Amino acid sequence: MAFALSTLRLTSPVFEDGGAIPARHTGEGDDISPALVWQGAPEGTRGFALICHDPDAPLVQNGTYGFVHWVLYNIPASVTSLEEATRVGTRGKNDFGKLGYGGPMPPEGHGAHRYYFWLLALDKPTDDLPEGLKIHDLLVKVEPHLLGMNRLVGIYQRG
């Protein structure tokens, strides 16, 4: 399946789709991942992966665009939500060069940025993947197993 939106629905109890991400979940705040909830996983889902990406980042890096804030995989199919500052799943490497979540913090004076939280439903678990994969490496591994995906978009402007 190509990367296309599905009936999977991703929400957060702390911000609406298209709404402001609370400062607590940014690099200017506590820098912890927000709580997320999902439903409507496609039949046959055996695991999930999650990516948070800022397409409004000003620089092209390493042959890609935007800035990756979170790569998380090996989320079991039985999981339908993540608490804030979750410890569920296997942490990938973000564009800060660190494992796990790195909250929004656009350059000063750069205006509001959009942060796309992408949830991918997979037809196989990803527990064979090592910690520390970057977005490209993860997508190469999971694309053949993609059953469906959807996104939640949050906005943040540095104070």
The reported pLDDT for the residue numbered 60 is: 58
92-144: per-residue pLDDT in tens? 999 999 999 999 998 888 889 999 999 999 999 998 999 999 999 999 999 99
pLDDT attached to residue 1: 45
Fold annotation for 9-156: Phosphatidylethanolamine-binding Protein (3.90.280)
Q: Output the CA torsion sign for 141, 144, 146, 152.
A: positive
Distance of CA 59 to the CA centre of its chain: 20
Write the pLDDT tens digit of every residue in 4-13. Answer: 678 899 999 9
The pLDDT tens digits for 29-63 are: 999 999 999 999 999 999 999 999 999 886 655 55
Listed by start position, the domains of the chain span 9-156
Position 66 confidence tier, pLDDT thresholds 50, 70, 90: confident
For residue 155 the two structure tokens come to: 């906005």
**For position 6, what pLDDT does the model report?**
82
Q: What are phi and psi of 24, to 5 degrees?
A: -55, -30
Q: Is residue 99 helix, strand or coil?
A: strand
